[in-house]
Amino acid sequence: MNKTRIVCYGDSNTWGYDASTGLRFPDDVRWTQLLAERLGLSYQICEEGLSGRTSVFEDPLFEGLNGLASLTPILGSHNPIDLLVVMLGTNDCKQRFAATAQNIADGVRRLVQKAQILPVWRNQPQVLIVAPILIGEAISTVPRISEGMGAVCAEKSWQLPRLLEATAAECSCHYLDANAVVTANTVDYMHFDLASNQRFCDLLADWIAQSGNDWT
């Protein structure tokens, strides 16, 4: 039996960062693992989350975080792919990248267009763009975090859902807004709280159940 293979390509909110502990959410909490359990044995969920990952930007402080640069080998390792879930953009809001919200959406566009032409698909390319969690304005009350992200990171993130929805339409991709169900923790105001993992799993699983006949 060939399983339906779904690659979840994202940053720390896909990796499963728990701001309360500074560690990774356990397997029985993390949304990617919950999704695998919910969908069952006919699906394979490939976790490809990396803390700090951007869409296309090279981080001058840390190596290997450019999502576009690592896309080809990562997707190639999971060939054949049925669905690619892309949830990126939060780290792009950092001040050191000097990117506007539109620049960030354009970066996601470039990444998904690259994915669409790679020879990794079982059938036709199927990409789901997910608008990432909104950064809370209260991040300004956490000096260590806000200084790293910059003064206008929250403002940029709040513009992303509408821009990414437009990007999805332009690229013939699917679209979901994680903010329909997720809430940020009250430690750094930019990562899923614990309960959001289950809610986001349910949102994505329901979407897969409703749309799966269109791409499997």
Q: What CATH number should be reported for the domain holding residue 62?
A: 3.40.50.1110
Residue 215 lies inside a defined structural domain of this protein: no
How many domains is the chain built from?
A: 1
Residue 110 lies inside a defined structural domain of this protein: yes
Residue 161 lies inside a defined structural domain of this protein: yes
Residue 199 lies inside a defined structural domain of this protein: yes
Per-residue confidence at 162, pLDDT binned at 50, 70, 90? very high
Sign of torsion over alpha carbons 200, 70, 99, 105? negative
Return all residues near 175 (Cβ < 8 A) that are at least 6 apart.
128, 129, 130, 131, 164, 165, 168, 169
Residue 179 lies inside a defined structural domain of this protein: yes
The string of pLDDT tens digits covering residues 64-107 is: 999 999 999 999 999 999 999 999 999 999 999 999 999 999 99
Rounded Cα–Cα distance for residues 65 and 57 (Å): 8
Residue 216 lies inside a defined structural domain of this protein: no
Rounded Cα–Cα distance for residues 99 and 206 (Å): 33
The string of pLDDT tens digits covering residues 40-56 is: 999 999 999 999 999 99
Residue 153 lies inside a defined structural domain of this protein: yes
| Element housing 176 (H / E) | strand 174-177
Question: The pTM is what?
Answer: 0.97
Residue 169 lies inside a defined structural domain of this protein: yes
* Domain range for 170: 4-210
Tell me if residue 154 falls in helix, strand or coil: helix
